Amino acid sequence: MKGRNKISKREQGNKNGYLFLGPYYFIFFIFIIIPVVIAIGLSFTNFNAIEFPGFTGFLNYINLLTNDEIFMQYVLPNTVKYALIVGVGGYVLSFLVAWALSNLTKPIRTVFALILYSPSMTGAVAMTVLWKIMFTGDQTGYLNSWLMNLGVITEPVIWLVNVDYLLPIVIFIGLWSSMGVGFLAILAGILNTDESLYEAAAIDGVKSRFQEMILITIPSMKPQMLFAAVMSIVGAFQGGMISTMLAGNPTPGYAAQLMVNHVEDYGFIRYEMGYAAAISVALLGIIQIFSIVSTRLFGERD
C-alpha cells in the first residue's frame, strides 16, 4: 500500500508539472509551431498575399538555387561571412571577455558586465541612429571628422553607400552588440565552477591560467557553452535589421544583403510570399545544421 501511495503521489506531481507547463506549450504551439508549419507549406506555393496560394511544388527551391543570382552571388556569401565572423567570433570573444572579467573583483566585474551587455539590450532602431551619426558621409560624421583631423583622408567618405565598407561596418556593429545572454551564461558558468577542481588540478601539475581554462573551466561548463553557442548562431543568422536601418533594403550593390533582408525584400516589398517562405525555410535549415554541430561539440556525451 505504501508503495502504491508513493507512485500515486509521484503521478499527481507529474500532472501538476504538466499543468504549470501548459501555458508555455500553448504559447509555443501558437507562436512557433504553427508559423513554422505555415511557412513550410507556403514555400511550396505561389502566393502574393492577395490571391489564394497556388501549389508549385519545389519550384521556389529550384529557383532559389539555380535562378536567383542575387542570392547565390551576394546574399549567401554575405550571410556565411557575417555568421562566421559575428557568430563564431562573437562567441569566442564572449568567452574570452567573460573569462577576463571572472578574474576581477565583484564590484568592478559587475560594472564592466553591464557595460558590455548593454548594447545587446539596445533596440536596433536606437542603435542604428547612433551608428548613422558615426558613419555620416560628410564632414559632420564623427569618423570622417576624426580621420580628416588626423590627416588620414582629405575628403569625406560616404561609408554607408560604398560597397567596400558597408559589410565590414555591419559586421563591426554586430560584434559590438554580440555580448548578449550567451555572454552572461558563460560568465555565470565560469563563476560557478567548483574551486576544488582548480585545487586538484594544481596538485596534479597544472600551473598556468591558460591550462586551467582548457582543462578545467571549459569541460566543467559545457551546458553554458552550448547555450551560448546556439544563441550566438541564431543571433548571427537572424542579423539583418542593422543593414536595413543603415542603408535600406536592398542595400547598395547588395553589399550587405543577408538572408533576412532577402526574405523581407521578397515578402514585404515584392509580395512574393511563397518565395520568401522558401528562403526562410532554407535559413531555418542552415541554422539547424549549425545548432546540431554545436550540440555535438558541447553536448553531454553518454
Q: How many other C-beta atoms can be found within 10 angstroms of the C-beta atom of residue 148?
A: 16
Helices (H), 204-258: 209-212, 218-220, 222-237, 241-247
CA distance 175 to 82: 10
Residue that the C-alpha cell 554541430 belongs to: 293
Phi then psi for residue 46, to 5 deg, are -110, 105
Residue that the C-alpha cell 522558401 belongs to: 278
Per-residue pLDDT, 167: 92
The CATH classification number of 69-298 equals: 1.10.3720.10
- CA–CA distance from 15 to each of 4, 25, 26, 108, 294 (Å)? 16, 14, 16, 45, 33
Residues 170 and 82 sit within 8 Å (Cβ to Cβ): yes
Whether a cis peptide bond, with omega within 30° of 0, leads into 250 is yes
User: What one-letter code names the amino acid at 135?
Assistant: F
Per-residue pLDDT, 7: 52
What is the DSSP annotation of 151-167?
Answer: TS-SS---TTT-TTTHH
Can you say how many angstroms the Cα of residue 44 is from the centroid of all Cα atoms in its chain?
27
Can you say how many angstroms the Cα of residue 158 is from the centroid of all Cα atoms in its chain?
28
Can you say how many angstroms the Cα of residue 219 is from the centroid of all Cα atoms in its chain?
23
Which pLDDT tens digit goes with each residue over 53-84? 999 999 999 999 999 999 999 999 999 999 88
CA distance 225 to 99: 12
CA distance 162 to 137: 10
Residues of the chain with pLDDT under 50: 1
Per-residue pLDDT, 124: 64
Per-residue pLDDT, 73: 93
Residue that the C-alpha cell 597544472 belongs to: 206
User: What one-letter code names the amino acid at 105?
Assistant: T
- Domain ranges across the chain: 69-298
CA distance 254 to 271: 19
Phi then psi for residue 159, to 5 deg, are -60, -45
